[in-house]
Amino acid sequence: MSAGSGFKIGVLTGGGDAPGLNAVIRAVVHAAIGRGWEVLGIEDGFEGLFQNRVRPLLVNDVRGILQTGGTILGCSNRGNPFEFTVPRYAGEGKDRSQEVIEKIERLGIAALIVIGGDGSLRIAHELSKRGVPTVGIPKTIDNDVPGTDSTFGFHTACETVMHAIDRLHTTAASHHRVMVIEVMGRDAGWIALHGGASGGGDVILIPEIPFDYESILDKIARREARGARFSLVVVAEGAYPRGGAKVYQLHRGGSTYDTRHLGGIGNVVAYELEGRGQIECRVTVLGHIQRGGSPNSFDRFLGTRFGVAAVELIAQREFGQMVGLDGDEIHHVPLEVVTSGLKLVDANGALVRSIESTGVNFGRSVPPFAP
């Protein structure tokens, strides 16, 4: 079908939620309907295709959602058509991708826009390889998707972390305590790095740099020697000590199958610092607060640009692509780029070096960029 009147596209939001999802959906609907196309919203990620939860999206459906967090379509990190499990966590998954492909064809969807992180975009890539005309839009607060300088949702999450640290700063100073703030960041430390540095964190622990407790204690001691009787330690959930391992918690997750989820490193760090340094610590775990709330200006604007760019790629029949940000310009890269691995913080790169040069401690035994 040519991309003219009656052309129908589908859009879904997979994985976890992130501020700016509704901005993307709104932009897709406006840009597509402006071309005379129809838009079908698929609810709760790929699950919606299995469960026939698909509905038309009109301009009235996206009115007033630009400033709203979450997604009007719902999202889910279940329903991977290549590893489908019922119930969730019920062992090895089954390949039901052909059902999804046939469903897309029966719905008359001529092109599919997948808004998601690395997991959802990998699914999009696999569907594209099997002939589904697909365009991806990178979404994650972790900012770990390769092929784009920034994902939407990341900047709002960093602002949330920054404001939380601002509030903890005053109580830390008042009570002369070490405040440990655990933030999201499974494999990539972008949130801890940006949010922690913006909030004035004294110690920032990220997955890319295994840390030493003695280095952290030395930083705290040097601050106390200068009259600063408190410190702020920002730790990504995926950070771990040198020679140690990441910290997991058992989680039932609404099913009978226990699973391991990252979390708890903040309490471990506080326990070790108290025991080794005889200092008083308090722990704050920000958790899903980082995902929620109204998107900031950057993420609204970036999400809008991404949504429009995805529709333009479909109009140009440039499928199997992901839109991204390159400097200040929108570009696109093959979805295959997402399969190359996560975009991680360069432990010895200029970004870390600049922050370390301001005196921030990354838990290194011998900081290579001492101020």
Active site members: 142
Among the listed residues 312, 243, 370, 260, the one whose alpha carbon sits nearest the alpha carbon of residue 28: 312
List of residues 6+ apart from 26 with CB closer than 8 A: 62, 65, 66, 304, 307
* Beta partners for residue 37, in sequence order: none
Kindly tell me the number of DSSP H helices and DSSP E strands found in the chain. Answer: 10, 13
Nearest-angstrom CA–CA distance, 298 and 225: 40
Nearest-angstrom CA–CA distance, 28 and 57: 10
List of residues 6+ apart from 29 with CB closer than 8 A: 39, 57, 58, 59, 61, 62
H, E, C per residue of 61-130 = HHCCCCCCCCCCCCCCCCCCCCCECCCCCCCCCECCHHHHHHHHHHCCCCEEEEEECHHHHHHHHHHHHC
What are the two backbone dihedrals, phi and then psi, of residue 239, each rounded to the nearest 5 degrees? -70, 155
H helices within the chain, ranges in order?
21-33, 47-50, 97-106, 118-129, 154-175, 190-198, 213-225, 265-277, 297-315, 350-356
Among the listed residues 123, 121, 124, 153, the one whose alpha carbon sits nearest the alpha carbon of residue 24: 153
